[in-house]
Amino acid sequence: MEVRAQVSMTFHLDKCIGCHTCSVACKNIWTDRKGTEYMWWNNVETKPGTGYPSKWEDQDVYKGGWEPKGKSIGLKVTDKFRGLANIFHQPHLPTIDDYYEPWTYKYSDLFDSPAGDDQPTARPVSLITGENMDINAGPNWDDDLSGSEIYAKNDPNFAALSDSEKEALFEIERLVFFYLPRICNHCLNPGCVASCPSGALYKRGEDGIVLLDQNVCRSWRFCVSACPYKKSYYNWSTGKSEKCILCYPRLETGQPPACFHSCVGRIRYLGVVLYDAEMIEQVASAPENELVDLQKEMILDPHDPEVIAQAEKDGVHFSVIESAQKSPVYKFLKEWGLALPLHPEFRTLPMLFYIPPLLPVLGHVEKGNYNVDVENYFGSLDKARLPMKYLAKMFSAGDETKVREVLEKLLAVRMFKRAEQVDDIDKAEVDKMLEKTGLTPEMCEEIYRLTALPTYEDRFVIPPMHREYVADALMGDPYSFKAEAGIGGFKDRPERGL
């Protein structure tokens, strides 16, 4: 056992209202520079939909992630020798057209146009070339467009569905969608790190944040292809790739990342978890149906004295262990078993977990009346508008039982609270549900509180990042100028010059 700490995340999809505040907060801080206009380190997608970049989940096209090779696994897009052979032209690199061409508007025309009979207009101009352009794609172009022929129909997750199931989803009465906010998963087995010929990408040992050293990056762009979530982006202006840094300068000063902090629906939870780093290869190479369970098994119990002792030996600070004991992520993932990784079949062991949406309102129209199926609440999951198969394709490598388990728990909590507050449900029925899902009334209450009423401190349990331990190593001279040490950055402008 080798214990390491990982800052980990949980997104509660039932709470996401799709407002894109997270995306905008991130953009304003990190990606408003030249060459990064098209990047959305945080983006929100409508599901079913094609997402950003278009159809990113289709790894037959993008070749992201890992695939089994022999007893272990190998990257789909490259390996040690193919990497060097393909260095002059990378065969599976997405181009800007797979994302969208960024634009602005020529606002000056609104003021400078000569007087005339027509209103002046602000024409869209490309942020790359500066020329006039027609806008035909954007970062959330499929927003709320479930049911559309162009976007929703091309969702790669529909591969698991039969034709009639697909058809049903496009009937106007059955239209359904939910939102999927995405950031870098800060994986335990990151494809981007493994693919980088220069070794520019790395995982921070202390907190597991995956970063990209811009001074080592030599513009080979393999990380862009190898990341199955397409969360490494190429800056065409500086010739360097860039990615979500989990706002580590904010974390180091005790603040949650900007997207977490600004989340209107309060769907985001952040906390540290301890995991066994020796299991990485074994878990990543496991058969598809075991991936979710094994990844959960890797996450260690921070209350276990054995784990604590080993953690201290492996250099995890005790304050971090303490923080792990309070981690909301640990609760959602391990104690309650409510969270699942996004596309575990990519085998990168993502450390951002999702609580799948309990979709939709559990009702159906019967003889013109709206009915809720009260006889059998679990049965109503099968009548859900979004087939379980679809959710399973996203969150459990196709294993419906895993998603069902989570949804049954969510439903049980809902019924438990309803019985308590509204008192219109048979208590025996609720007890049966609790028994089946393995939840206790105390757990239900706790889940309810952390879901519906969490405070800022409940949602973000930020471990101390202990920069004081490395201050000497980073600064050398403790009296040096502020910008010369600490969170890094560039002393000069990050420009190419020549």
Partner 1 sequence: MTFSDFMFGVFPYMCIIIAIVATTWRYVTDKFSYSSLSSQFLENRQLFWGSITWHYGILGVLTAHLVGFFIPKSILWWNMEPVRLYILETTGFVLGLMALVGIILLIIRRFSSSRLKVVTSNMDKILYTVLFIQVLTGVLTAIFYRWGSSWYSGFAVPYLWSIVELRPDVALVDNLPLTVQIHILNAFFLLFLLPFTRLVHMLSVPIKYIWRPHQVVRWNSRKKILGPF
Tell me if 237 contacts partner 1 by CB under 8 A.
yes
Quote the least distance from Cβ 120 to partner 1, whole Å: 25
Name the residue with tokens 């983006």.
43
Q: Which of 17, 84, 150, 159 binds partner 1 (CB under 8 A)?
A: 84
Quote the least distance from Cβ 74 to partner 1, whole Å: 9
Quote the least distance from Cβ 298 to partner 1, whole Å: 15
Tell me if 198 contacts partner 1 by CB under 8 A.
yes
Q: Which of 69, 205, 456, 483 binds partner 1 (CB under 8 A)?
A: 205
Q: Which of these segments, 15-23, 90-98, 387-395, 415-423, binds partner 1 (CB under 8 A)?
A: 90-98
Instruction: Identify whether the C-beta of residue 336 lies closer than 8 Å to the C-beta of residue 408.
Output: no
Quote the least distance from Cβ 277 to partner 1, whole Å: 9
Q: Which of these segments, 111-119, 162-170, 287-295, 306-314, binds partner 1 (CB under 8 A)?
A: 306-314
Q: Provide the mask over 267-286, with x wherever binding to partner 1 is found by CB under 8 A and - wherever it is not.
A: -------------x------
Quote the least distance from Cβ 315 to partner 1, whole Å: 5
For residue 318, what is the DSSP state?
H
- Helix 400-421, helix 427-437: angle, nearest 10: 150
Nearer to partner 1, 130 or 254 (CB): 130
CA 305, 5, 263: angle at the middle one, nearest 5? 120
SS3 call for 279:
helix
Tell me if 123 contacts partner 1 by CB under 8 A.
no
Q: Which of 305, 423, 428, 477 binds partner 1 (CB under 8 A)?
A: 305
Nearer to partner 1, 112 or 468 (CB): 468
The residues near 34 (Cβ < 8 Å, ≥ 6 apart) are 237
Phi-psi region at 489: left, alpha or beta (left = phi > 0; alpha = psi -120 to 50): left
Pairing of strands 460-461, 268-276: parallel
Query: 273-295 b/e with 16+ CB inside 10 Å = b?
Result: bbbbbebbeebbbbeeeebbebb
Rounded distance, CA 413 to CA 434, Å? Answer: 8
Torsion of CA 367, 372, 377, 379, to 10 degrees: 30
Tell me if 62 contacts partner 1 by CB under 8 A.
no
Nearer to partner 1, 70 or 116 (CB): 70
Quote the least distance from Cβ 178 to partner 1, whole Å: 31
For residue 464, what is the DSSP state?
P
Quote the least distance from Cβ 57 to partner 1, whole Å: 21
Quote the least distance from Cβ 288 to partner 1, whole Å: 21
Quote the least distance from Cβ 129 to partner 1, whole Å: 5
Q: Can you read off the two tokens belonging to residue 15?
A: 């709470």
**Type and span of the H or E element at 9:** strand 3-12
Q: Which of these segments, 109-117, 134-142, 168-176, 315-323, binds partner 1 (CB under 8 A)?
A: 315-323
Tell me if 221 contacts partner 1 by CB under 8 A.
yes
Rounded distance, CA 154 to CA 425, Å? Answer: 41
Tell me if 365 contacts partner 1 by CB under 8 A.
no
* 406-465 positions binding partner 1, by CB under 8 A: none
Tell me if 105 contacts partner 1 by CB under 8 A.
no
Quote the least distance from Cβ 62 to partner 1, whole Å: 13
Q: Which of these segments, 112-120, 211-219, 360-368, 381-389, binds partner 1 (CB under 8 A)?
A: 211-219
Q: Which of these segments, 18-26, 156-164, 310-318, 327-335, binds partner 1 (CB under 8 A)?
A: 310-318
Tell me if 321 contacts partner 1 by CB under 8 A.
yes
What are the angstrom distances between the C-alpha of 64 and each of 138, 198, 346, 352? 22, 19, 8, 17
Rounded distance, CA 433 to CA 444, Å? Answer: 11
Q: Can you read off the two tokens belonging to residue 309?
A: 């002792």
Q: Which of these segments, 117-125, 249-257, 301-309, 382-390, binds partner 1 (CB under 8 A)?
A: 301-309
Nearer to partner 1, 43 or 225 (CB): 225
Listed residue (410, 412, 357) closest to 385, CA to CA: 357
Number of Cβ atoms within 10 Å of the Cβ of 132? 11
Instruction: Identify whether the C-beta of residue 46 lies closer than 8 Å to the C-beta of residue 365.
Output: no
Q: Can you read off the two tokens belonging to residue 469?
A: 């331990």
Nearer to partner 1, 203 or 261 (CB): 203
Tell me if 32 contacts partner 1 by CB under 8 A.
no
Tell me if 165 contacts partner 1 by CB under 8 A.
no
For residue 216, what is the DSSP state?
T
Backbone angles phi, psi at 9, to 5 degrees: -135, 155
For residue 462, what is the DSSP state?
P
The binding site for partner 1 (CB under 8 A) comprises 80-81, 83-84, 87-90, 93-96, 128-131, 189-190, 193-194, 196-199, 201-206, 214-221, 224, 234, 236-240, 280, 305, 308-309, 312-319, 321, 469-470, 473-474, 490, 492, 494-498
